[in-house]
Structure formats: C-alpha cells, structure tokens
C-alpha cells in the first residue's frame, strides 16, 4: 500500500477526492492536513473531519495547517465557487471530532522521518504547508517519496485569472519554493483537469449509491455544478482534485513532460502563472540570468485519458 498524506482545503472537489482516496484499497492514508484556500482553515478543517466521521474512518488524524499565505493576507476563500461553508452552503452540523494537536507540517515531518522514502504527499490546495515543511525541516525533501500537486497551468490559461490557477495564485511564493525544491514533484494542473469533466449523469450515478459518504458528498455537488453552468456554460463539473488522486493510482492514464517550472511572484497581471522552461537549453551553464537555472525538473501532466479517469472515479 502506498503511504499518503493528503494536504487539502475542502472544498467540494476536495471532498470528492478524499471520498475516492478513502475508497481506494491501494492507499494507506496516514493523515489529512488542512490549509486555507476554498474557505478559511477553520472551515476546511471542520469539513475534513466531517468527511472522515461520515465515512467512519476517524482513525485517520486531521492536522490543521496554516491560516494564511507566506507573505500575503488570506484572500477570503471562494464562496462563489464552493459556498461560504466550503461545501455548497448546505445545512449540516459541525464535526464532533477535534483536530490532532500536531500542526500540518509538524505531522508531515514526523511521518516522513518515520517512513523515509516511502511517503507521498498529495497536495490539492495552496502549497503553504509544504513550503513551511521545507523551511522548518531543512533536508526533509530528501526523505520524501514524491509530491503530487493539483495546481498550475503550464500550457493553457488559468481559472482564477487569465494567467493563474487558483491553488497557485492563493500562495505564489509558497508554490515557487515547492516547485523549485530538490524533491520529485508531479504537477497535475489545468492542462489535464480541464479535460476531466464529470457530467450531470455521472454525478447522479454517485448520488444513487447507498454509501453514506457518497450521499453526503452528493449534497455538495449542486452548488458547484450551478457555478460551472453559469460561468463556463457546461453541464457538469471539473473534478480537479480527484484527477490528482487518479494520478497517484494509475499513472499510465497520463502523458507527461519534464521541465523546470518557475512561478510568477511579482504583482503583475501574471501573478501565479506557472512557467515551464522551453527545454534543455535553459540549463546551460553560464547563463546566470535564466530564471530556471539550477531548478529541478517537474513532471507536468499534459494529456489524460479522461474517460477512463471518470470511469474509475
């Protein structure tokens, strides 16, 4: 079984991704760590605990992460996409669970040290907890198996702005640290997630199963579906975060390219854009000015067998 920590900001599609991970016998979920993003970290933490409670998997710890980006204030979430409550404005009681006393990055460090080379971190929210992990535990990157992130847009437009994807834009400085660190990063960005559209008919099939978790997650779909209908004129939802779970499970469904990636961190209209280099020549010594110099290659997903991904979900 693959040991995995899911760093998440539930979030409607995060809830679906956690649902898929909990139903995947290939995964040994060591814990959920939470982050601000789709809503405040207090809300996303409660939502994460609620999912585990409903799934009857309360043996999995939930560790609360940081409440703001490294260098910027928290922007206030995206109530227009995920609702004020991060779950589509449904009436639902708060969780009875308490978060684990360890902070998100403390928990990650502890688990990574206990299982050197065997822990995958799946990050499906802003990357601040991971940047804190790197800053506070120097050398920890060498002990991690791999980092899989849902975030960024290498060769396509953004979704939060014309330039940037939401998770990266939420903390561009943290994203630049994580994508530039010396560990193996896989980027599942809009290049592929905008090809994975779950139709209303497929959503109804999830709603019509008997599992309590499926029933609960299905109540959150409607708000998200209405958002995409209004803004993108599509009938269905992009399952961004679940696509990254599928990458962990079935990598052969994805086509990838390896490039170093820099994140735009200046306050321009391109803030949060993930820029891949244009190839090997960017690494040539002697050109000190190139922004990608000495950065490791990130494995970027550029295409996906979307139908098979949707069937698997």
Q: What does the alpha-carbon distance between residue 183 and residue 139 come to, in Å, rounded to a whole number?
A: 10
Q: Which residues bind Ca ion (CB under 5 A)?
A: 9, 11, 14, 124-125, 241
- Listed ranges 26-34, 162-170, 227-235, 249-257: which one lies at the site for ligand BDR (CB under 6 A): 162-170
Contacts with ligand BDR in 33-62 (CB under 6 A)? 38
Q: Is residue 277 within 8 Å of 259, Cβ to Cβ? A: yes
DSSP code of residue 256: E
HSE-CB for 178 with a 13 A CA cutoff: 32
Among 7, 9, 85, 241, the active-site one is 9
Closest to 24 in 3D by CA, of 2, 46, 43, 7: 2
| Residues, the chain | 313
Give how far the C-alpha of residue 214 lies from the chain's centroid of Cα atoms, to the nearest Å: 20
Among 7, 82, 240, 241, the active-site one is 240
Q: Please say which residue, 148 or 166, places its beta carbon nearer to ligand BDR.
A: 166
The reply to whether 14 sits near ligand BDR by the rule CB under 6 A is: yes
Q: Please say which residue, 124 or 246, places its beta carbon nearer to ligand BDR.
A: 124
The reply to whether 122 sits near ligand BDR by the rule CB under 6 A is: no
Please confirm, yes or no, whether 92 is among the known catalytic residues: no
H or E element that contains 200: helix 200-207
The reply to whether 153 sits near ligand BDR by the rule CB under 6 A is: no
Closest to 13 in 3D by CA, of 118, 125, 90, 102: 125
Q: Please say which residue, 107 or 238, places its beta carbon nearer to Ca ion.
A: 238
Q: Is residue 53 within 8 Å of 95, Cβ to Cβ? A: yes
Q: What are phi and psi of 161, to 5 degrees?
A: -140, 170
DSSP code of residue 296: P
- Listed ranges 6-14, 44-52, 88-96, 98-106: which one lies at the site for ligand BDR (CB under 6 A): 6-14
Closest distance to Ca ion from the beta carbon of 301 (Å)? 16
Q: Please say which residue, 46 or 241, places its beta carbon nearer to Ca ion.
A: 241
Please confirm, yes or no, whether 240 is among the known catalytic residues: yes
70 binds, among ligand BDR, Ca ion, none (CB under 5 to 8 A by kind): none
Catalytic residues: 9, 240
User: Which residues contact ligand BDR by CB under 6 A?
Assistant: 11, 13-14, 38, 78, 81, 124-125, 150, 159, 165-167, 240-241
């Amino acid at each position: 079984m693959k040991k995995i920590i899911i760093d998440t900001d539930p979030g409607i599609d995060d809830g679906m991704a956690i649902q898929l991970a909990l139903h995947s016998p290939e995964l040994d979920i060591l814990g959920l760590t939470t982050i601000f993003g789709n809503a405040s970290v207090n809300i996303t933490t409660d939502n994460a605990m609620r999912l585990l409670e409903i799934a009857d998997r309360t043996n999995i710890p939930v560790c609360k992460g940081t409440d703001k980006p490294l260098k910027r204030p928290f922007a206030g979430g995206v109530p227009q996409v995920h609702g004020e409550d991060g779950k589509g404005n449904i009436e639902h009681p708060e969780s009875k669970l308490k978060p684990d006393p360890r902070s998100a990055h403390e928990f990650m460090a502890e688990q990574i040290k206990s299982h050197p080379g065997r822990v995958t971190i799946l990050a499906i929210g802003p990357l601040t907890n991971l940047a804190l992990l790197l800053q506070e535990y120097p050398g920890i990157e060498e002990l991690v198996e791999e980092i899989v992130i849902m975030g960024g847009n290498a060769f396509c437009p953004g979704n939060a702005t014309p330039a940037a994807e939401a998770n990266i834009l939420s903390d561009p400085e943290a994203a630049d640290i994580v994508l530039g660190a010396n560990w193996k990063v896989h980027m599942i960005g809009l290049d592929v997630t905008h090809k994975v559209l779950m139709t209303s008919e497929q959503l109804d099939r999830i709603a019509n199963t008997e599992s309590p978790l499926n029933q609960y997650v299905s109540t959150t779909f409607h708000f998200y579906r209405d958002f995409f209908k209004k803004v993108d004129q599509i009938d269905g939802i992009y399952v961004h975060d679940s696509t990254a779970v599928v990458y962990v499970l079935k990598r052969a469904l994805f086509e990838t390219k390896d490039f170093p990636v820099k994140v735009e961190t200046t306050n321009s209209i391109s803030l949060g854009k993930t820029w891949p280099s244009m190839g090997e020549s960017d690494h040539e010594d002697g050109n000190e000015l190139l922004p990608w110099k000495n950065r490791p290659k990130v494995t970027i997903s550029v295409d996906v067998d979307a139908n098979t991904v949707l069937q698997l979900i």
